[in-house]
Structure 1
Amino acid sequence: MLSNEKISGAQISLLFFTFIVSTLILSVPGIMVSFAKQNAWMSIIPASLTGIVNIYVMTALARRYPGQSIMQYATAICGKWAGKLVGFYCTYYLFFFISSTVNEHAGFLNTNLLLYTPPLVLMATMLLLCGFAVLAGVETIGRCNEVIVLIVLVLLIPIFIFSLRDADPARLTPMLGEGLVPVIRGSVVPSAWMSQFYFLGWFLPHLKEKPEKVRKKLLAALGGIVALIMVVDLLGIMVFGPITPRMKFAFLDVIKYTSIIGPLERLEAIAVTIWILGIFVKISMLLYMFCISATQLFGAKNYRKSVLPITVLSAVGSVWIFKNAAEFEAWITFTFPILALFTQSLLPLLLLAVAVIKAKIVKH
């Protein structure tokens, strides 16, 4: 390990709740409806299976290799050179992931709030804040997120309640009129988000308790994600019906459509607040993992020395990665689910399988 920082099982569960929900809640519901129509709210259930599998796989790997990140036990499992290749791939994947996330953040703010602000300014300011969080350490990120989760939930509950006034349950029918196939198709994109429990491979080494003891808390976080996305999908469908897939940020449009009598007429500021708080945690976690990966890949001892150059590199990648919003939308709809299936689901499964086989061979 590169530091002695420790976080509790509750903190790590809340971190991954925020990590997954922050971008899933706004970008994906409309895509789900485009595939599953009025039954899109069901699609999150089969999508959650990838999350369940990853929670068990990553905690099993952490139990076999205590105190080691996925970068370290990949070498122990695959050998020096193959392990280095896996580590290099994981590091590049993090670079690609953080670049796309920061780019999405700038695109969201440019579309909905700061129309004339250069995207580079939005990217650089967010990365600068996240860089300070990474320098403060994983304990600080975990404690900060506890407050952020509370704020986000307090902001979301009134929105859910007031949006019910414009909801029409009749738009949810017919239920399963075309069978389960559209529901399964609608689960493909959100499954890429649910499998992001793969990133536990960088945080479980900091866990105060044994990995197997945190499974219930992680499954509870997964259950909270499923419930929240199900509610968001239900509201989107009941408020907008068949036009939901045409909306880039369906939940944001639900919030815009909802009004409260009195001075609180325009509620999109609440959506932007939720987005900024959530994306701050997500980018901080990604930047932390990127710094840890690069440090372990090149055999350095202090990850904090790499924060500045990696933050600059992430800013460059964020500008370079997508030419426009349409390219990003096509990527998360068609390319990212395939990439996530391989990297976030199959790769850790393969590592665990090889570790189990090697352990059996040694015993015999």
Structure 2
Amino acid sequence: MDIVLHKITVRELTAGYQDKGDDGVVAYGGKLDVRPPFQREFVYNDKQRELVIDTLMKGHPLNIMYWAVREDGTYEIIDGQQRTISICQYVADDFSVKTRGSMLNFSVLQDDEQQKILDYELLVYFCEGSPSEKLEWFETINIAGETLNRQELLNATFAGAWLSDAKRYFSKSSGPAYNRGHNLLSGSANRQDYLATILRWISGGDIERYMNKHQGDPNANALKQYFEAVISWVNNTFKVYRSSMKGVEWGPLYDQYKDIVLDTDAIEQQISDLVEDGEVKSEKGIYHYILTGDERYLDLRAFDVKTKRKKYQEQGGICPVCQQHFDFSEMEGDHVIPWKDGGKTEEDNLMMLCKKDNRMKSGK
């Protein structure tokens, strides 16, 4: 990995600046991709970007920026997007800052004030290397402000037509994926949470490998079709929407049960009963339980320590299964009548078993 420090003037940086909306932002004579596919949308507020310009006007140092050198000799911003756009927008007269007591655009500043800003030297590290080296570097540099999350770092490494298409679909707060499934997906589309979720589902958890395999694809149609299939299956299988459905790991459930004919009316009745069951602590886990039958997803109510100590004393520390004596720490509380048979988490339905017998009994 080659990392070289350069001094870039604001004049050089803002030359050729263009904001093309969804098609990106360029600067530095058109050679700098200011908003490459892995970057988030512009998030600085008025106060933050005014502080950037105030720093330039006063000649104070601005944090170092990082640019990645592409194979064709152009550049993309790793860190510094928000500062760069703030500077370019100001020089382009997109906003004003308080100067000499008035809110002034760049174009109405005195000549010497303009020259001071244009001559300001930014410190920029040019970073060049293989995708794996770049990813390692992205993960270790001390990025000022709000850091890139894991998916944003992966986007930086596997940029291309496939990723651009995926981001248009999954990474916009008003985009197709948001409109189709925001009530089932947790997190933020802009911060790549939706994209990360779908990639995790389709890849079985190996997002990096999947992105590496498909980086050269011309589009992300397969990823979009998978997402649409998952959402359709959920909507068709679970007839009544509940807020607890948001954030469930739907992908793995779809993969396992999509070809099984399910009784959707019976499923809705089960869900309705479980929602009203005071023993069930995890409403979100109901959907996994309905399909898998695994009670652990329900996070059923457990006996409190005080009640278990009382029962331990009543039993004299004897496990009713093996008839051996154990210390309290060696025993666990269990339902006499299991929850699935109508048993409640109440003192008269509690027995203390040694850990071995309790786990054999429950199949743990």
For normalisation by structure 2, the TM-score amounts to: 0.21
Structure (1 or 2) with the greater helix fraction = 1
For normalisation by structure 1, the TM-score amounts to: 0.21
The higher radius of gyration belongs to 2
